[in-house]
Amino acid sequence: MFAIMRFFTGMGLTHKNLLLFIGVEWADIAHRTIAGVIISFDWSFSTMILPGIAYLVNDWRPLVITVTAPLILPHFYLSKCASANNRQHNIRYIKPEVTFEYAIFKEEDRGDRKYSYLDLVRFRVAFTYYGNSLNISGFGLNLYLTQFIYGAIELPSKLVAYLCLDKLGRRYSQVGTLITTGEMSLLLSLDLWLPRTVIFVQGKGFLEASFTCVFLYNTELYPTVLQQNGLSYSSFVGRVGVSLAPLVSLHRSCSALWLPVQVSLRCSSAMF
CATH number at residue 93: 1.20.1250.20
> Which pLDDT score, from 0 to 100, does residue 103 have?
47
Report d(CA 119, CA 146) in Å as an integer.
30
Residue 33 lies in a domain: yes
Residues near 244 by beta carbon (within 8 Å), at least 6 away in sequence: 127
Tens-digit pLDDT profile for residues 89-102:
555 555 554 444 44
Residue 92 lies in a domain: yes
Q: Angle, to 10 degrees, between the axis of helix 193-219 and the axis of helix 227-244? A: 160
Report d(CA 256, CA 24) in Å as an integer.
43
Residue 1 gets which letter from DSSP?
Answer: -
DSSP secondary structure letters along 24-51 = GGGS-GGGHHHHHHHHTHHHHHHHHHHH
Question: Across residues 119-123, what is the average pLDDT?
Answer: 56
Question: Across residues 28-41, what is the average pLDDT?
Answer: 80
> Which pLDDT score, from 0 to 100, does residue 120 have?
55
- Amino acid making up residue 198: V
Question: Across residues 148-169, what is the average pLDDT?
Answer: 84
> Which pLDDT score, from 0 to 100, does residue 108 have?
46
201, 161 in Cβ contact below 8 A? Answer: no
Residue 94 lies in a domain: yes
Residue 175 lies in a domain: yes
161, 213 in Cβ contact below 8 A? Answer: yes
Question: Across residues 153-180, what is the average pLDDT?
Answer: 82
> Which pLDDT score, from 0 to 100, does residue 67 have?
86
Residue 7 lies in a domain: no
Report d(CA 148, CA 187) in Å as an integer.
23
Residue 181 lies in a domain: yes
Residue 258 lies in a domain: yes
Q: pLDDT at residue 258 above 80? A: no
Question: Across residues 176-190, what is the average pLDDT?
Answer: 71
Count of beta carbons in the 10 Å neighbourhood of residue 79? 9
Tell me if residue 146 falls in helix, strand or coil.
helix
Domain span holding position 86 = 12-109+116-271
Domain total of the chain: 1
148, 50 in Cβ contact below 8 A? Answer: no
Residue 1 lies in a domain: no
